[in-house]
């Protein structure tokens, strides 16, 4: 049974919230919603990483025909990612320190901490520069 299927009956997922993510690399799309009853905001997409060329693609599968969007049309059609941005993203992983640093160039605005959460999964502070975030695991 693949994703989106329950006992071989197609399912539709609604009320999904994709907020404040950095998409460094992606396959054919950064976000794929099964329908338009979801939301996305504050996400940062690579400025020219789409496998189709140009800006990244975002997808809504149903109803037919499927919708393929760049950030501008995603906003116009659904009002999503009004606080999202395109950026040149650099990711550097230090395997010795288990430290990931993401740096971005573009019109990236600092988002407030979601519900006051400013730590990683392990409870350690996430440090942020002007346009860089570092997550450490020690």
Q: Let me know: does 44 contact 85? Beta carbons within 8 Å.
A: yes
What would the pLDDT profile of 67-93 be if each residue is shown by its tens digit?
A: 889 899 999 999 999 989 988 888 889
Please choose, from the candidates 44, 41, 21, the residue with its C-alpha nearest in 3D space to the C-alpha of residue 107: 44
Tokens of 35: 């329908």
Band of the pLDDT at 136, cuts 50, 70, 90?
Answer: low
- pLDDT for the residue numbered 55: 62
Q: Let me know: does 55 contact 47? Beta carbons within 8 Å.
A: yes
DSSP secondary structure letter of residue 71:
H
Whole-prediction pTM value?
0.73
Contacts for 77 with CB less than 8 Å, ≥ 6 apart: 67, 69
């Amino acid at each position: 049974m693949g994703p989106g299927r329950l006992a071989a009956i197609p399912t539709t997922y609604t009320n999904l919230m994709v907020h404040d993510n950095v998409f460094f690399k992606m396959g054919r799309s950064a976000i794929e919603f099964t329908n338009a009853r979801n939301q996305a905001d504050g996400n940062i997409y690579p400025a020219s990483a789409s496998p189709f060329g140009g800006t990244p693609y975002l997808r809504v599968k149903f109803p037919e025909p499927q919708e393929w969007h760049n950030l501008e049309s995603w906003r116009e059609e659904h009002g999503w990612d009004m606080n999202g941005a395109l950026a040149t993203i650099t990711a550097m992983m230090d395997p010795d320190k288990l430290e990931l640093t993401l740096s971005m160039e573009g019109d990236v605005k600092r988002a407030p901490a979601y519900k006051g959460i400013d730590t990683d999964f392990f409870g350690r502070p996430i440090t942020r520069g002007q346009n860089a975030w570092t997550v450490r695991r020690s």
